[in-house]
Amino acid sequence: MGIEAQINTLERNSVAVNNDRVLDVRNLRVNYHTPRGPVRAVNGVSFFLKRGEKLGLVGESGSGKTTTALSLMRLVQEPAVIEGGEVWLDGIDLLRLSEDEMRKARSADIALIPQGAMNSLNPMLKVGEQLRDTMRAHMDGESQSAIDAHIINVLDSVDLRPTVMQAYPHELSGGMKQRVCIAMGILLRPKVIIADEPTSALDVVVQRQVMETLGRVQSEIDASVILVGHDMGLMAQFVDRVGVMYGGKLVEVSPVREIFKDPLHPYTQLLIGSLPTLQAKEMFKGIPGLTPSLFMPPPGCMFHPRCPKAMSHCSVEIPALVEIKPDRWVSCHLYNGGHS
């Protein structure tokens, strides 16, 4: 069986339940177990990803966004443990697959473009060999010439020449290494690509080039993308919807235009209010207070100790994430039954 036929077979392995949704995450919970007790890094996160959609997960450091992303791939390592929830990818719950089944799903159905290409590529192996390893893990019996031909096509799609296959990672620029990671992520045409801060440590010009490349190849293979990061400006340029995380929870999910035009959650309002503008010259504004301890979180709403709109019951009751307008979800006591 040829490479393209094998890829098509991999794409048909799962049965769709909701034709509009490729990924459905329900009540995902991840704890880091420490001698002092569990740290609830991801605490009941639920969201969905539409076919062909680009969804951003944004928040401060420690908000749980990267742990959420790695959990979808089942790549969290001890002391982190996925305690519960469901991750449905085209009708298959990834959390219930065996280790061998999950290894086959990685790259073929759901792929990761990791943060920091320098640290994710093996410095001892040439780029071509690392790409071949990904192919061989999913396609038995294919000739090396056919594998190399497919790799060259994929490298071309991310604007890299075939000669890159003969290079070691340290011989490539930061932008080229990140393109190699994108190529590795799309080798088997996965349904979902998770990009974990793919432009970190790159200058702004290369950042734009990398994101343009990711957007183009995502469209070419008809994949959906989850972009993890803390740069709201980057989210505004790239994604269709944004999920804002705080203290291991989602506090707001909204189309990107609406969230910038009319942010609902006080945390989202402060995040967007801290962005610099060309219209006004003023001091940079941060968010007052400190991020909460996930070992001993505050009672009630996690954000209430820093919230300028906090009410008495915010320190007692945990607000649910509810849809208060079409495709606009918020977890805040300011909104009750769709009214603010």
Question: What does the pLDDT look like over 34-91, one tens digit per residue?
Answer: 998 999 999 999 999 999 999 999 998 889 999 999 999 999 999 999 999 999 999 9
Alpha helices in 187-265 (DSSP H): 204-221, 232-238, 256-261
Pairing state of beta strands 241-246 and 21-34? unpaired
Contact 198, 206 (CB under 8 A): no
Q: Which amino acid is at 222?
A: D
Provide the token pair at 109.
């159905």
Question: What does the pLDDT look like over 212-267, one tens digit per residue?
Answer: 999 999 999 999 999 999 888 889 999 999 999 999 999 999 999 999 999 999 99
Position 199 confidence tier, pLDDT thresholds 50, 70, 90: confident
Rounded to whole angstroms, the Cα distance separating 264 from 250 reads: 13
Residue 118 three-state SS = helix
For residue 38, give the H/E element and its range. strand 37-50
Contact 160, 178 (CB under 8 A): no
Q: What is the mean pLDDT of the chain?
A: 89
Residue 17 clears pLDDT 90, i.e. is over it: no
Position 24 confidence tier, pLDDT thresholds 50, 70, 90: very high
Contact 215, 46 (CB under 8 A): no
- Segment 112-137 mean pLDDT: 88
Position 114 confidence tier, pLDDT thresholds 50, 70, 90: confident
Position 317 confidence tier, pLDDT thresholds 50, 70, 90: very high
Residue 200 clears pLDDT 90, i.e. is over it: no
Q: Which fold has domain 3-300+319-330?
A: Rossmann fold (3.40.50)
Rounded to whole angstroms, the Cα distance separating 49 from 112 reads: 15
Contact 297, 229 (CB under 8 A): no
pLDDT score of 116: 73
Rounded to whole angstroms, the Cα distance separating 190 from 63 reads: 27
Provide the token pair at 3.
């490479």
Bridge partners, 30 (sequence order): 42, 82
